Amino acid sequence: METIIELNKNNLEEKYIFNKIAKQSSGAVMYKIGKAVLITAIAIDEKPVDEDFLPLTVQYIEKSYSAGKIPGGFMKREGKPSDFETLTSRIVDRSIRPLFPKGFHYPVVVTILVVSSDSQVDMQLAALNSANAALFVSDIPVSQNISAVRVAKVDNEILINPSLNSLDKSTLDLYIVGTHKDLLMIEMRSLASKKIDDVDMSESQDCNAIAEDELIELISVAREAINEATLSYDEAFAPLVREPLELDLKEEKIDTELYDFISNNFSTEITQAVNEMAKSERSNALKRVRKEILASYEVEVDEDIAKKVVEAYKKSVVRDMILNDNIRADGRKLDEVRPISIETSLLPSVHGSCLFTRGETQALVVATLGDSKDAQFYDLITSKDSKSESFMVHYNFPGFSVGEAKFNGAPGRRELGHGNLAKRALEPSIDLNYDGTIRLVSEILESNGSSSMATVCGGSLALRSADIAVVDLVAGIAMGLVSDGTNHAILTDIMGLEDHDGDMDFKVTGTRDGITALQMDIKLGGVDLGLLKEALSEANKGKNHILNLMEEAEKNTVPSEALPSTELFTINPSKVVDIIGKAGATIREIIEMFDVSIDIDRDKGGVKLVGDDKEKVINAKAHIQNIADTPVKKQTIYEKNKLYQGKIKKIVDFGMFVEMPDGFDALLHISKVSKTRIHNLSDKFKEGDSIAVIVMEQNGKKVGLATPEYLN
């Protein structure tokens, strides 16, 4: 029987409709908020996988019809997911994954369809809350509700779950998922307080980085909102929960006799293997020890069981070293950052580059500059107009970075997620007055812990190498946590081993003044604010240590010789039409003559010239200013078939620009110079030479010429 539940919590007027759609699924809901409608359905395969993991798939899919659109392109149907869809799917996945019980190895697919959109609705909040409702009432044994809250800061006023219009004006975007008072996931970024068009050129700019204490206060506010929401969900959804499926959960049974045998006879070998694993994410040390254990153990044991027991003992060794001895597998102190080396401007033909190496993680980050036409255009169902992205960060993770023989294909969710985190970290540091497009590409050459943070550090210095006006350097560091319920240890600059065997992955990026971006995932089922505050304090120490090294590297950074030359100037707006010419003829000629790209602001008369040759850019500027400064003259009417004496002004591949006696330029095409084919005009003519030409035709300012030699 159809059931409608209406809730009004945290500035969200939500409507949940159950038992109306997708009744053959394990759980489903039609979720309405504003004009947005989402359908979330969950399906389970009751045959478990053999591997020891949760095969969960989340698909957030935006239908074009939801915004009254027909998909573009040749195929008029939805195709490859957009970056926003992929990132939203990843957020939902990371949020609901901790809710499944241990030993749950059944394939589950969560499908979220946006079937009606609303330009003011936060679709990531809607996706998470609808997925939670469908999962909680399903026949899958999940017994907790979660809720998402977004916090914004507009004119120093704190807003809970703002509209998209308000979020555009915010200096903070804080997205938190939790259950009751436990926090499960945090994503945060600082935002530019002004759009480029509104910037006063005389004002100084900062990154709007947020201080640690202020962030803790805002997280506390969000936690109370999450607690209120999840309590209301518990009460409202409980009567609708289906009878759970009878599923066998794989107990993590450990062969205690084999475990004791390893502890008594191979503890030294396991510890040595752990030390080797601290040097690389790819290590064969445990495989060698496992073979020795199986060979010496009197009882025949399945290799998969032995693998689990060895893995369990290895994990206990790693955690005991940290909690009891305050030492890590690679010998570092808990708050010690691995050795760092930095080399900038090492690639001669690129606009900016940095090779950032921290321990066994290495990122080569390359910056490329372009004009506004190089921006990435994309569509959102919450907006009728296409949007453009003028700052891009693309992250690549080839298999060889961890010693794997793997084909390098299209970027997956992990690559998109890491690139997006680095983008959010670095974007606030770019001067708002920068007018152009920037693309950063991070090639991970080696990985053993937090290559995304290496991308942030290398990316900030690659921007410096490309001579981009950066307000502040931004560094990133990955923090970890090991806890046994009583004692805990915060780890600075975690490596892959500690990420795998630890209880938290906490990435923090920022400047000297505060945090620009943050991402946290908890494996414990929640974390309290005191622990979070301690982790932020330790992260700040590590971040400042890295910034010290980056600032030293910055002193030795020389801008690349491959950087394009740029000239910015203004002309009288009334002269813009003369620069463009009839049907764009004049501006095309300038582009061809001087090999430059030109951007013109018709209203303000602003001109931006970009080219690889500095001298040509300067000459193009002088040429444009000459046109703009030349008084308007009456167009000369040339006599057809009459001989004129002109001067060669510019030789190009397709002909010559000839200055006529009254100062107007006309094109003499290479095909009209001689009846015999000429491959290189520069072999026969020189710029500045006098040349006889005959007017063949005239169409306004466009004059067609030929030589007497061609006509005879």
Please, which residues have CB within 8 angstroms of residue 353's CB and are 6 or more apart in sequence? 344, 345, 346, 347, 364, 365, 366, 367, 462, 465, 560
- Pairing outcome for strands 437-446 and 391-396: parallel
Q: Do residues 26 and 142 touch, judged by C-beta distance below 8 A?
A: no
Cα–Cα distance measured from residue 467 to residue 563, given in angstroms and rounded to the nearest whole number: 8
- Please choose, from the candidates 480, 520, 484, the residue with its C-alpha nearest in 3D space to the C-alpha of residue 502: 480
Cα–Cα distance measured from residue 226 to residue 177, given in angstroms and rounded to the nearest whole number: 7
Say how many Å lie between the first and final Cα of the chain, rounded. Answer: 94
For the chain (712 residues), the mean pLDDT of every run of 10, in chain order, is: 92 95 96 97 94 92 91 82 94 93 94 95 96 97 95 93 92 93 90 52 64 92 94 96 91 83 90 78 77 86 83 90 89 94 94 95 95 83 81 94 87 92 94 86 93 97 92 94 88 90 90 94 74 91 97 91 86 88 87 89 87 87 86 73 90 87 83 85 89 86 85 82
Rounded to 10 deg, the angle between the 585-594 and 614-629 helix axes is 150
Cα–Cα distance measured from residue 177 to residue 183, given in angstroms and rounded to the nearest whole number: 6
Cα–Cα distance measured from residue 371 to residue 435, given in angstroms and rounded to the nearest whole number: 7
Q: Do residues 530 and 488 touch, judged by C-beta distance below 8 A?
A: no
Whole-number Cα distances in Å, 672 to 499, 687, 705 = 71, 18, 7
DSSP 323-352: HHH---TTS--TTPPPPEEEEES--TTSSE
Cα–Cα distance measured from residue 285 to residue 384, given in angstroms and rounded to the nearest whole number: 56
Q: Do residues 36 and 116 touch, judged by C-beta distance below 8 A?
A: yes
Dihedral of CA 134/135/140/146: which sign? negative
Strand-pair partners of 39: 30, 113
Copy the structure tokens of residue 695: 């007017």
Give residue 193's pLDDT. 56
Radius of gyration of the chain (CA): 32
Helix (H) or strand (E) holding 643: strand 643-652
Cα–Cα distance measured from residue 556 to residue 507, given in angstroms and rounded to the nearest whole number: 28
With 0-12 / 13-18 / 19 or more C-beta atoms within 10 angstroms meaning exposed / middle / buried, residue 63 is middle
- Please choose, from the candidates 140, 214, 149, 216, the residue with its C-alpha nearest in 3D space to the C-alpha of residue 180: 149
Cα–Cα distance measured from residue 701 to residue 366, given in angstroms and rounded to the nearest whole number: 45
Angle value at C-alpha 275, between 269 and 281, nearest 5 degrees:
115
Amino acid at 127: A
Give residue 196's pLDDT. 41
